Amino acid sequence: MKRRFMIMLSILAMVLAACGTTAEETTTTTAAPDGSTETTAPSTDGDGDGGAQTGGDLLDTILARGELNCGANETLPGFGSKDEAGNFVGFDVDLCRALAAAMFGDADAVRYEALTAAARFEAVNSGLVDILSRNTTWTQSRDTELGLDFGPTTYYDGQQMMGRASDGFGTDSSLADIDGAIVCTNAGTTTELNMSEAAAALGISITLNTFEDFNIVTENFKAGACDVVTTDGSSLVSRKAIDPDGGDWVIFPSVPFSKEPLGPAWAQNNSRFGDLVTWTVFAMQLAEEHGVTSANVDEMLANPPNGEIARLLGGEGELQTVMGLPADAFYQVISQVGNYAEIFDRHLRPFGLERGLNALYADGGLQYPMPAR
Amino acid sequence: MATDTRISRPPERKPPLWRNVTVLKWAAQLVVLAGLIALVVILGLQAAGNLQAQGRSFGWGFLSRPAGIQIGEGIFTRPANGFQVIQTGAVNMLRITVSGILAASVLGVIVGVSRLSANWLLNRLATVYIEILRNIPLLVQIVFWFFVASLTFPNVSADQEGTQWLVISNKGVSIPWFFPTETFWQWSVFVIAGLIAARLVYRARIRRLEETGADTYPGRYAFLTFSGVVVAGWFLHPVAGAVGWVWQLLASIVSAVPTLAWQLALAAAAVYLAVRWIRRFLDSLRSPAGLAKLTDDDWFRIGLAGAVGVVAAAALVFIPTLTASVVDLVDFVLRFLDQKFDFLRTGSPLRFARPDVVVPGRFPQIGTSGMTMTPAFFGVWIGVTLYTAAFIAEVVRGGVLAVPKGQTEAGLALGLRRSQLLRMIILPQAFRIILPPIGNQYLNLAKNTSLGIAVAYPEIVAVGQTLANQTGQAMQTFLIWIVFYLIVSLVLSGIVNRYNRRLALVER
Amino acid sequence: MTIPRVSAELRPPEPPPEASQLGAVVWLRQNLFGSVASGVVSVVLGVALFFMLRGAIGFLLSEDRLWEVIPRNATNYAIEGYPRADIARIWLSLDVILFLAGLSMAVWRPSGRMSLASLAAAVRSLGTVLVLVGILAPETFGSRFTVGLVGLVLIGLSFVGMRLSDTTALADRIPTLGLIAGLAALFLAILWVLPIESSTQIPYTIGVVVALIGHGIGRLAAARVAPGPLRAIVTAVWLVSLPIIYLHIQRNPVVDWDTVIGSWMPWIIGIVVGGLALITVVSRSERERAGVLNALAVVAAIAAWTISAPMLARALLALLAVLSLATPTFGSSALGRRNMLLTWLAGALFASYIFVVGDAGTGLQTRNEYYGGLNLTMMLAAGSLLLSFPLGVLLALGRTSTMPIFRLLSTGYIEVVRGVPLITVLFIARFGILNFLPVNLEFDPNVLVLGGITAFAAAYLAENVRGGLQSIPKGQYEAAKALGMTTAQMTMLITLPQALRAVIPAIVGQVIALFKDTSLVAIVGLAEFFRVARDIVPNQTNSLGSIIENLLFAAAVYWIFTYNFSRASQRLERRLGVGTR
The b-or-e profile of C399-423 (16+ CB within 10 A means b, else e) is: bbbebbbbbbbbbebbbebbbbbbb
C523–B139: do the CB atoms touch at under 8 Å? Answer: yes
Instruction: Compare all CA atoms of chain A with the CA of B24 and give the residue at the minimum distance.
Output: A5
Q: For residue B454, which residues of chain A lie inside 8 Å, CB to CB?
A: 212
Instruction: Give the residues across from C174 on adjacent strands.
Output: C114
Residue A179 touches partner B, C-beta closer than 8 Å? yes
Q: Distance between CA atoms of C23 and C21, rounded to whole angstroms?
A: 5
Q: How confident is the model at residue B94 (pLDDT cuts 50, 70, 90)?
A: very high
A188–B466: do the CB atoms touch at under 8 Å? Answer: yes
As a whole number, mean pLDDT of residues A307-331 equals 83
| pLDDT over 50 (residue A162) | yes
What does the pLDDT look like over B299-342, one tens digit per residue? Answer: 888 888 999 999 999 988 888 888 888 888 888 888 888 888 87
Q: How far is B186 from chain A (nearest CA, A)?
A: 35
Q: Are C440 and A55 in contact (CB under 8 A)?
A: yes
Contacts of C304 (CB under 8 A, 6+ apart): A17, C313, C314, C317, C318
Q: For residue A118, which residues of chain B lie inside 8 Å, CB to CB?
A: 465-466, 469
Q: What is the ipTM of this complex?
A: 0.87
B125–C49: do the CB atoms touch at under 8 Å? Answer: yes
Residue C580 confidence (pLDDT) = 44
| Nearest residue to B258 via CA among B320, B336, B335, B334 | B320
C359–A50: do the CB atoms touch at under 8 Å? Answer: yes
Pairing of strands A182-186, A207-211: parallel
Residue A14 touches partner B, C-beta closer than 8 Å? no
List B residues 48-107 in contact with A (Cβ-Cβ < 8 A).
53-56, 68-70, 72, 78
Residue in C254, C358, C487 nearest the CB of A4: C487
Q: How confident is the model at residue B192 (pLDDT cuts 50, 70, 90)?
A: very high
Name the 3-class secondary structure at B71. Answer: coil
Mean pLDDT of chain B: 86
Which of A19, A25, A62, A82 is best to mutate for the C interface (most C CBs within 10 A)? Answer: A82
Chains that touch C (3 or more CB pairs under 8 A): A, B
Q: For residue B144, which residues of chain A lie inside 8 Å, CB to CB?
A: none
Residue A16 confidence (pLDDT) = 40
Which of B136, B138, B486 is best to mutate for the C interface (most C CBs within 10 A)? Answer: B136
Residue in C435, C444, C486 nearest the CB of A1: C486
Q: Are C275 and C321 in contact (CB under 8 A)?
A: no
List C residues 504-523 in contact with B (Cβ-Cβ < 8 A).
512, 516-517, 519-520, 522-523
Q: Distance between CA atoms of C534 and C519, rounded to whole angstroms?
A: 11
Q: For residue B387, which residues of chain C lie inside 8 Å, CB to CB?
A: none
The identity of residue C11, as a single letter, is R
Looking at chain C, how many residues does it have?
581
| Nearest residue to A229 via CA among B159, A244, A157, A213 | A213
Q: How far is B36 from chain A (nearest CA, A)?
A: 7
Q: Which of B164-168, B193-197, B293-297 has the highest mean predicted lDDT (pLDDT)?
A: B193-197
What does the pLDDT look like over A121-135, one tens digit per residue? Answer: 878 888 888 999 988
* Side-chain half-sphere CA neighbours of A131 within 13 A: 32
Residue A12 confidence (pLDDT) = 43
The phi, psi pair for C213, rounded to 5°, reads: -60, -45
Residue in A6, A35, A67 nearest the CB of C310: A35
Residue C401 touches partner A, C-beta closer than 8 Å? no
- Number of helices (H), then strands (E), belonging to chain A: the values are 14, 13
Q: For residue B485, which residues of chain C lie inside 8 Å, CB to CB?
A: 419-421, 424
A2–C287: do the CB atoms touch at under 8 Å? Answer: yes
Q: How many Cβ pairs within 8 Å bridge chains A and B?
A: 141
Mean pLDDT of chain A: 80
Lowest mean pLDDT among A253-267, B482-496, C352-366: C352-366
Residue A215 touches partner B, C-beta closer than 8 Å? no
Q: For residue A8, which residues of chain C lie inside 8 Å, CB to CB?
A: 403, 406
Please report, in angstroms and rounded to a whole number, the separation of the first and last CA atoms in chain C.
45
Instruction: Compare all CA atoms of chain B with the CA of C434 and give the residue at the minimum distance.
Output: B47
B137–C547: do the CB atoms touch at under 8 Å? Answer: no
Q: Distance between CA atoms of B486 and B490, rounded to whole angstroms?
A: 6
Residue C539 confidence (pLDDT) = 78
Q: Are A350 and A336 in contact (CB under 8 A)?
A: no
Residue C309 confidence (pLDDT) = 79
Residue C410 confidence (pLDDT) = 93
Residue in B35, B171, B469 nearest the CB of A182: B171
Q: How far is CA A251 from the centre of its chain?
A: 25
Q: Distance between CA atoms of A294 and A334, rounded to whole angstroms?
A: 5
pTM score of the predicted model:
0.84
Instruction: Compare all CA atoms of chain C with the CA of A18 and give the residue at the minimum distance.
Output: C305
Return the percentage of chain A with pLDDT > 90, whole number: 31
List C residues 99-128 in contact with A (Cβ-Cβ < 8 A).
none
Q: Are C312 and A8 in contact (CB under 8 A)?
A: no
Q: How confident is the model at residue A54 (pLDDT cuts 50, 70, 90)?
A: very low
Which conformational region is residue B339 in: left (phi greater than 0), alpha (psi within -120 to 50 degrees), or beta?
A: alpha
As a whole number, mean pLDDT of residues B35-47 equals 91
| pLDDT over 70 (residue B1) | no
Instruction: Compare all CA atoms of chain B with the CA of C530 and give the residue at the minimum distance.
Output: B140
Q: For residue C360, which residues of chain A lie inside 8 Å, CB to CB?
A: 37, 39, 41
Q: Distance between CA atoms of B30 and B36, rounded to whole angstroms?
A: 10
Q: How many Cβ pairs within 8 Å bridge chains B and C?
A: 158
Q: How confident is the model at residue A334 (pLDDT cuts 50, 70, 90)?
A: very high
Q: For residue A227, which residues of chain B lie inside 8 Å, CB to CB?
A: 363
Instruction: Compare all CA atoms of chain C with the CA of A243 and give the residue at the minimum distance.
Output: C544
C440–A53: do the CB atoms touch at under 8 Å? Answer: yes
Instruction: Compare all CA atoms of chain C with the CA of A35 and give the residue at the minimum distance.
Output: C263
A219–B24: do the CB atoms touch at under 8 Å? Answer: no
| pLDDT over 50 (residue A9) | no
B135–C32: do the CB atoms touch at under 8 Å? Answer: no
Q: For residue C368, which residues of chain A lie inside 8 Å, CB to CB?
A: 86-88, 111-112
Residue in A40, A43, A53 nearest the CB of C444: A43
| pLDDT over 80 (residue B93) | yes
pLDDT in tens, chain C (581 residues): 455 455 556 566 666 555 555 567 777 777 777 778 888 888 999 999 999 988 888 888 888 888 888 988 888 899 887 888 888 889 999 999 999 998 988 888 766 677 777 788 888 889 988 888 888 887 777 778 888 888 899 889 888 877 777 665 555 567 777 788 888 888 888 888 876 666 677 888 899 899 989 988 998 988 888 888 888 889 889 988 988 888 888 888 888 888 888 888 888 899 999 999 988 888 888 777 888 888 888 888 888 878 877 888 888 999 998 888 888 877 778 888 888 899 899 999 999 988 888 777 777 755 445 788 999 999 999 999 999 999 999 999 999 888 888 988 999 999 999 999 999 999 999 888 888 888 767 677 888 899 999 999 999 999 999 988 888 888 888 888 888 887 878 888 888 888 888 888 888 888 899 999 999 999 888 888 999 998 888 877 778 788 889 999 999 999 999 998 888 888 877 776 654 44
The string of DSSP letters for C77-143 reads HHHTTS-GGGHHHHHHHHHHHHHHHHHHHHHH-TT-EEEHHHHHHHHHHHHHHHHHHHHHS-TT-TT
Q: Dump strand ranges (E) for B337-420.
A: 350-353, 356-358, 365-366, 371-373
Number of neighbours of residue B272 by Cβ within 10 angstroms: 12
List C residues 435-474 in contact with B (Cβ-Cβ < 8 A).
435-439
